[in-house]
């Protein structure tokens, strides 16, 4: 296995051109923190972007940052944090879930496009990528978008690059939108709701004018394996039986948060007594939810495959409840019910057929975000699309990479060679 550590965009072009010439696919990696996601792929060469790690420019007053794709996400986050700014979509750190170290690179964050709890308010990674330089499977460097927040010049290829898992082009530099960090936050917490009632409570909160920036539900089962920030949350007192909690986050200037917390508590009064988590406690809980701490690789469900299910938010409770019952698994809800993480007891097929049938019936889709290589070799990791859409997606992929040089087979089962 060759690891080709590129120094600049020119090197990337050369590697891809050589790969085209020798008809050898290449795997694209930054820190490799998400290599365990996707259909397993086998290439003779790794294109390593980790040395392309510079911050090209950061202009807090313009709300943009331009960085090379291999820049470590953690470093970039501390840089923008020093100016009280953040990536508003709350990129997920998958390291705890996958049992690897490090949260990876900016390129990986965009390639995976996994957004956290604030997606319901601030949008996803796709909504924050403003421009990119990339090398296509034609071996050519191209750019798309720009370095301003408002731009409709030409097709918005940034949307395609986000969440394409490295199958369209090798990003070398990206421009991202940054947003001010909220001055304060509060989380409203309801206890002991079943999944359906919790779903209704979250729907009521999200349908209110109080600008909710997070809505999650942790059934009592979620506390079984929990350690860290969530460990004490489910119990009123040490040692007592854990109860489900439903969490709704408000962010902004302190006076506004306090005011909205008061109003929203009244809106939610019919669902039970509202407890309040303040700034640091609130932040810790949402970080744990963002990173799916109950299903951590080091925890008691570490060996279970984990599905990431996206569905219409108001259907989430019913779907999650049915899945937990029929698969014997555990679920947690984010995005007001629109995102379900499901850890299922291990089976060779990760219960894909049953799960996808239920998910599709609810109008959603599901991705197997954690499973052994053997399971991922036999199961569609990404949700299979209906014929017409699958053909169009394949034509789109082909328009960037006709020789299937880049991450060949990562998205589609059986397309490895």
Partner 1 sequence: MAIMMPASDQAVLDRRDKIVAALRAIVPGEGVIDSAAEMLPYESDGLMAYRQPPMVVVLPDTTEQVSQVLKYCSEQGIKVVPRGSGTSLSGGALPLADGVLLGLGKFKRIREIDFDNRVVVTEPGVTNLAISQAVAHAGFYYAPDPSSQIACSIGGNVAENSGGVHCLKYGMTTNNVLGCEIVLMSGEILKIGGKCAENAGYDLMGIITGSEGLLGVITEITVRILQKPETARALMVGFAEVEAAGECVARIIGAGIIPGGMEMMDKPAIHAAEAFVHAGYPLDVEALLIIELDGPSVEVDELITRVETIAKGCGSVTLQISTSEMERNLFWAGRKAAFPAVGRISPDYLCMDGTIPRGALPKALARIRELSEKYGLGVANVFHAGDGNLHPLILYDANKPGEMDRAEAFGADILRCCVELGGVLTGEHGVGIEKRDLMPEMFTEIDLNQQQRLKCAFDAQGLLNPGKVFPTLHRCAELGRVHVHGGKLAFPELPRF
- Residues 38-97 touching partner 1, rule: CB under 8 A, are 45, 48, 59-63, 84-85
Using rule CB under 8 A, residue 280 touches partner 1: no
Q: Minimal CA–CA distance to 199: which of 182, 215, 175, 222?
A: 215
Sole binder of partner 1 in the list 42, 236, 312, 361 (CB under 8 A): 312
Given the rule CB under 8 A, which of 187-195, 233-241, 278-286, 381-389 is the region that contacts partner 1? 381-389
Run of H or E including 310: strand 306-310
CA 214 to chain centre: 14
Helices (H), 115-253: 119-122, 157-161, 195-206
Site for partner 1 in 87-146 (CB under 8 A): 115, 119-120, 123-124, 126-127, 136-144, 146
**Total number of residues binding partner 1 (CB under 8 A)?**
107
Sole binder of partner 1 in the list 268, 289, 310, 406 (CB under 8 A): 310
223: which 2 tokens? 């506390």
- Minimum Å gap between C-beta 210 and partner 1 is 7
160: which 2 tokens? 């395609």
Encoded one letter per residue, x for contact with partner 1 by CB under 8 A and - for no contact, window 165-204 reads: ---x----------xxx-x-------------------x-
Angle at 80 between CA 75 and CA 84, to 5 degrees: 135
Contact 193/246 with Cβ under 8 angstroms?
yes
Using rule CB under 8 A, residue 318 touches partner 1: no
Which of 216-238 are b and which e, b meaning 16 or more Cβ less than 10 Å from the residue's Cβ? bbbbbbbbebbebbbeebbeeee
Site for partner 1 in 329-368 (CB under 8 A): 335, 338-339, 363-365, 367
CA 190 to chain centre: 25
Contact 335/117 with Cβ under 8 angstroms?
yes
Using rule CB under 8 A, residue 148 touches partner 1: yes
Run of H or E including 323: helix 316-327
Given the rule CB under 8 A, which of 30-38, 298-306, 308-316, 340-348 is the region that contacts partner 1? 308-316
Q: Minimal CA–CA distance to 33: which of 337, 402, 369, 379?
A: 369
- Minimum Å gap between C-beta 194 and partner 1 is 18
- Minimum Å gap between C-beta 409 and partner 1 is 15
- Minimum Å gap between C-beta 49 and partner 1 is 12
- Minimum Å gap between C-beta 182 and partner 1 is 8
Q: 3-class SS at 249?
A: strand
Sole binder of partner 1 in the list 42, 54, 255, 303 (CB under 8 A): 255
Nearer to partner 1, 182 or 234 (CB): 182
Nearer to partner 1, 367 or 413 (CB): 367
Residue 288 has a CB neighbour count (10 Å cut-off) of: 22
- Minimum Å gap between C-beta 108 and partner 1 is 17
Run of H or E including 76: helix 73-81
Sole binder of partner 1 in the list 226, 274, 289, 311 (CB under 8 A): 311
């Amino acid at each position: 296995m060759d690891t080709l550590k590129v120094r600049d965009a020119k090197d990337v072009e050369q590697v891809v051109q050589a790969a085209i010439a020798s008809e050898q696919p290449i795997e694209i990696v930054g820190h490799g923190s998400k290599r365990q996601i996707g259909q397993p792929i086998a290439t003779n060469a790794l294109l390593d972007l980790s040395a392309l790690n510079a911050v090209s420019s950061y202009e807090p007053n313009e709300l943009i940052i331009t960085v090379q794709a291999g820049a470590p996400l953690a470093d970039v986050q501390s840089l923008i944090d020093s100016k009280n700014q953040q990536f508003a979509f709350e990129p997920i750190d998958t390291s705890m879930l996958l049992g690897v170290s490090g949260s990876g690179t900016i390129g990986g964050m965009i390639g995976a496009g996994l957004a956290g709890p604030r997606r319901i308010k601030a949008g996803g990674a796709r909504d924050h990528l403003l421009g990119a330089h990339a090398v296509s499977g034609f071996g050519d460097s191209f750019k798309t978008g720009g370095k301003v927040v408002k731009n409709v010049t030409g097709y918005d290829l940034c949307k395609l690059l986000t969440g394409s898992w490295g199958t369209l082009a090798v990003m070398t530099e990206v421009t991202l939108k940054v947003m001010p960090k909220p001055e304060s936050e509060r989380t409203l917490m309801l206890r002991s709701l079943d999944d359906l009632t919790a779903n209704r409570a979250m729907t009521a909160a999200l349908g209110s004018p109080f600008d909710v920036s997070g809505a999650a539900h942790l059934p009592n089962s979620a506390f079984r394996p929990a350690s860290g920030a969530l460990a004490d949350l489910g119990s009123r007192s040490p040692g007592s039986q854990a109860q489900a909690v439903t969490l709704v986050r408000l962010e902004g200037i302190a006076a506004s948060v306090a005011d909205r917390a008061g109003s929203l508590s009244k809106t939610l009064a019919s669902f039970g007594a509202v407890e309040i988590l303040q700034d640091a406690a609130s932040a810790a809980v949402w970080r744990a939810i963002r990173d799916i701490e109950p299903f951590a690789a080091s925890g008691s469900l570490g060996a279970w495959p984990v599905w990431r299910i996206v569905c219409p938010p108001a259907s989430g409770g019913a779907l999650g409840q049915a899945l937990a019952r029929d698969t014997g698994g555990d679920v947690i809800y984010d995005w007001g019910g629109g995102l379900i993480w499901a850890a299922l007891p291990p089976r060779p097929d990760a219960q894909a057929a049953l799960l996808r049938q239920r998910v599709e019936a609810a109008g959603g889709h599901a991705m197997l975000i954690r499973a052994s290589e053997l399971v991922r070799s036999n199961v569609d990791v990404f949700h299979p699309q209906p014929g017409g859409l699958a053909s169009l997606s394949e034509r789109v992929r082909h328009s960037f990479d006709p020789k299937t040089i880049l991450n060949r087979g990562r998205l589609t089962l059986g397309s490895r060679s």
